[in-house]
């Protein structure tokens, strides 16, 4: 019986093959007992409208953060806001979408017209920058879930030596440069891939992700916000914009009285200690330094660019197509199990090898140009930080470093100067 039906159905298929829009080996059966074929379930994704709600929450929390930092000068307020942000952007939204990663979407959108970028992503990228431009890094203080994660577990901050801090502070530039390079060449989104905290937000991740996150969490107990200070690529942009911010958190509400109480209050090393008054520099020394720097910086830029251009193949080798082409070019190369599947998949797809090589040539050229730009950029960063270090800055008061300060408002609580302090106020007649 079964065989007959099977045979009949096969016959049926063969006869009506050309009539049906799609060929099936076995036709859809007609049930005699009235059995209803269940619908195919395609669970819907989260509504698009919710994305706009996220934008609204971001705008609201940025406004509240700026108000708390600039107007209220309230550490407690910032603390509770960061708890909220951690809960909403972190654990509820599970770390996606975040402004830190949006850098890559923007870059991909710029270089690949085919990539349609959601408007909400552009807003997520731009809004914290604009707020920073006017109020300092209030985004870092109370809105960023990654920052909040580290800030809330900070138990016993250890002060790092200034030279170490300066040296490690260069890593974010490298990270940003690489992230932009890989996003521009549509290779990978490395910021998202190596996001150490997203695994905690989701309570689920691969072992390596948890491992990385665990290391950062352990470090965060003793080193204030290690990711923010020494890795965060978005922090680079915030740092630079914050330097020219219109308003910024100040330690003393009015005039600093140099009481030194705030000196050790900053766990992030962002308080600048007053410099002892130094005699004015000799004019010759200034000119000499200026001359040396005008030579050194272009040399560094060029050297960086040259080095970047030299290693462009290494940089490109993580691109899956480049990797594939490398294996096709030298078949003797040791093939991993994973690579074998890739090679098989490529062969079954039936794409001509020539086409792949042509594509890879374009990718390699992009990487060559990108390598030069990346190297030049890093050389410039290095040169400018040398210039910055060699310059003596006189400043009489305890102030926050506008670039590196996260506006967390911890120092505010240490300052004895009060706005309503009658002694400091102008005598009223």
Partner 1 sequence: MEQHQEGNKIDRRKFLNSGIRATIVLGIGGLGFSLLKNLSAEELVWQLDASKCIQCGRCATSCIMTPSAVKCIHVYAMCGYCDLCGGFFRPETKQLTTAAENQLCPTSAIKRKFVEEPFFEYEIIENLCIGCGKCVKGCEAFGNGSLQLQVSHNLCKNCNQCAIARVCPADAFSRVPVKSPYLFKGFGNKKLVKPAEDDE
Residues 114-133 contacting partner 1, CB under 8 A: 114-120, 122, 126, 129-130, 133
43 binds partner 1 (CB under 8 A): yes
Closer Cβ to partner 1, 47 or 158, answer by number: 47
CB of 224 to partner 1, least distance (A): 27
Q: Which part of the chain contacts partner 1 (CB under 8 A), choosing from 200-208, 211-219, 356-364, 378-386?
A: 200-208
Cα 105 from Cα 116, distance rounded (Å): 10
For every residue of 363-393, DSSP letters joined together read HHHHHHHHHHHHHHHHHHHHHHHHHHHHS--
The answer to whether residues 186 and 108 touch, using CB atoms and an 8 Å cutoff, is yes
Cα 84 from Cα 384, distance rounded (Å): 38
Closer Cβ to partner 1, 55 or 140, answer by number: 55
How is residue 341 written in tokens? 């599947």
The answer to whether residues 84 and 61 touch, using CB atoms and an 8 Å cutoff, is yes
The answer to whether residues 412 and 76 touch, using CB atoms and an 8 Å cutoff, is no
CB of 370 to partner 1, least distance (A): 18
CB of 90 to partner 1, least distance (A): 13
Residues from 49 through 108 that contact partner 1 (CB under 8 A):
51, 94, 96-97, 101-102, 104-106
CB of 16 to partner 1, least distance (A): 14
Q: Kindly give, in sequence order, each residue whose CB lies less than 8 Å from that of residue 346, ignoring residues fewer than 6 positions away.
A: 324, 328, 356
427 binds partner 1 (CB under 8 A): no
37 binds partner 1 (CB under 8 A): yes
Cα 283 from Cα 288, distance rounded (Å): 9
φ and ψ of 30, to 5 deg: -100, 115
Closer Cβ to partner 1, 113 or 427, answer by number: 113
CB of 40 to partner 1, least distance (A): 5
CB of 78 to partner 1, least distance (A): 24
- Cα separations in angstroms, 54 against 97, 120, 148: 9, 9, 18
Half-sphere exposure of 46 (CA within 13 A, CB side): 10
46 binds partner 1 (CB under 8 A): yes
Closer Cβ to partner 1, 34 or 276, answer by number: 34
The answer to whether residues 271 and 262 touch, using CB atoms and an 8 Å cutoff, is yes
Out of 15, 18, 19, 28, the residue judged to bind partner 1 by CB under 8 A: 28
Using CB under 8 A as the binding criterion, the count of chain residues that bind partner 1 stands at 77
How is residue 107 written in tokens? 């870059």
Residues from 324 through 383 that contact partner 1 (CB under 8 A):
338, 341-342, 344-346, 348-349
32 binds partner 1 (CB under 8 A): yes
How is residue 276 written in tokens? 């002892």
Name the 3-class secondary structure at 295: helix
CB of 202 to partner 1, least distance (A): 6
Out of 67, 202, 265, 326, the residue judged to bind partner 1 by CB under 8 A: 202
189 binds partner 1 (CB under 8 A): yes
In b/e form, how buried is each residue of 155-189, taking b as 16+ CB within 10 angstroms? eebeebeeeebeeebeebbbbbbbbbbbbbbbbbb
CB of 290 to partner 1, least distance (A): 19
Contact string (CB under 8 A) for partner 1, positions 210-249, x = contact: -------------------------------x--xxx---
Closer Cβ to partner 1, 349 or 423, answer by number: 349
Closer Cβ to partner 1, 347 or 418, answer by number: 347
């Amino acid at each position: 019986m079964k065989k007959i039906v099977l045979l009949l159905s096969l016959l049926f298929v063969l006869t009506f093959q050309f009539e049906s829009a799609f060929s099936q080996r076995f036709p859809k059966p007609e049930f005699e007992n009235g059995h209803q074929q269940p619908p195919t379930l395609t669970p819907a994704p989260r509504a698009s409208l919710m994305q706009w709600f996220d934008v609204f929450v971001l705008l609201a929390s940025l406004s509240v953060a700026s108000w708390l930092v600039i107007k209220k000068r309230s550490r407690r307020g910032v603390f509770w806001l960061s708890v909220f942000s951690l809960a909403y952007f972190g654990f509820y939204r599970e770390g996606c979408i975040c402004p830190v990663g949006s850098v890559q979407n923007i870059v991909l959108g710029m270089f690949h017209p085919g990539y349609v970028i959601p408007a909400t992503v552009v807003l997520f990228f731009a809004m914290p920058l604009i707020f920073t431009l006017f109020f300092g890094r209030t985004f870092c203080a109370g809105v960023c879930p990654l920052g909040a994660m580290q800030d809330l577990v900070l138990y016993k901050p250890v002060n790092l030596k200034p030279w170490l801090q300066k040296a490690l502070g260069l890593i974010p530039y490298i990270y940003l440069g690489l992230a932009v390079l890989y996003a521009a060449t549509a290779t990978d989104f490395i910021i998202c891939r190596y996001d150490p905290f997203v695994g905690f937000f989701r309570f689920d991740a691969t072992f390596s992700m948890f491992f990385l996150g665990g290391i950062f969490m352990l470090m965060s107990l003793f080193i204030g916000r290690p990711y923010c200070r020494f890795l965060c690529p978005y922090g680079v942009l915030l740092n630079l914009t914050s330097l020219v911010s219109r308003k910024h958190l100040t330690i003393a509400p009015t005039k600093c009285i140099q009481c030194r109480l705030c000196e050790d209050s900053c766990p992030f090393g962002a308080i600048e200690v007053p410099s002892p008054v130094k005699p004015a520099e000799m004019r010759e020394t200034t000119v000499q330094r200026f001359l040396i720097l005008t030579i050194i910086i272009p040399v560094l830029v060029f050297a960086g660019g040259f080095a970047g251009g030299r290693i462009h193949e290494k940089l490109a080798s993580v691109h899956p197509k480049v990797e594939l082409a490398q294996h096709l070019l030298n078949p003797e190369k040791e093939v991993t199990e994973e690579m074998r599947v890739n090679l098989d998949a490529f062969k079954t797809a039936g794409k001509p090898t020539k086409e792949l090589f042509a594509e890879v040539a374009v990718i390699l050229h992009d990487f060559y140009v990108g390598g030069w730009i990346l190297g030049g950029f890093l050389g410039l960063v290095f040169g400018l930080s040398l210039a910055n270090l060699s310059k003596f800055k006189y400043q009489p008061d305890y102030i926050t470093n506008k670039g590196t300060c996260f506006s967390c408002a911890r120092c505010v609580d240490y300052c004895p100067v009060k706005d309503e302090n009658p002694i400091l106020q102008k005598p009223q007649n």
